[in-house]
Amino acid sequence: MIPILTTSSTVMCPHGGIAQLVTTHTEALVDGAPMLLQTDVHPIVGCPFTPVTYMPCLSIRWVTAATQTALHGVPVLLQSSVGLCLNAAQVPQGIALVVQTQQKAKGL
């Protein structure tokens, strides 16, 4: 069992930008915070990645999530989920880093 991500978790891009963890599905709560779903897209603020040929990360799209734990048929995000950090052109800039999450609710 792996901890479920919620809006109170902390996720960053590999360059130090912080994801704003929001979801439209607020009926399933863990410690008062909504669980995150694979279909959620999270904006990133403060990514300093600006070499000449790259642009800063602006959002995270999740490519893996729980295989057995879902809300309304949509997989929830787990601490082990993989999210791609995308720039304005939707080009992947790296993998999202889950820095902190709750430890009470877990899924598969």
Q: Specify the range with the lowest mean pLDDT, choosing from 5-9, 64-68, 91-95.
A: 91-95
Q: Tens digit of pLDDT for each residue in 29-76? A: 999 999 999 999 999 999 988 666 668 999 999 999 999 999 999 999
Angle among Cα 11, 51, 59 to the nearest 5 degrees reads 30
Distance CA 17, CA 60 (A): 11
What percent of the chain is modeled with pLDDT above 70?
95
- Cut 0.85: pTM above it: yes
Q: Provide the token pair at 89.
A: 């052109």
In order of their start, the domains of the chain are: 2-107 (2.60.200)
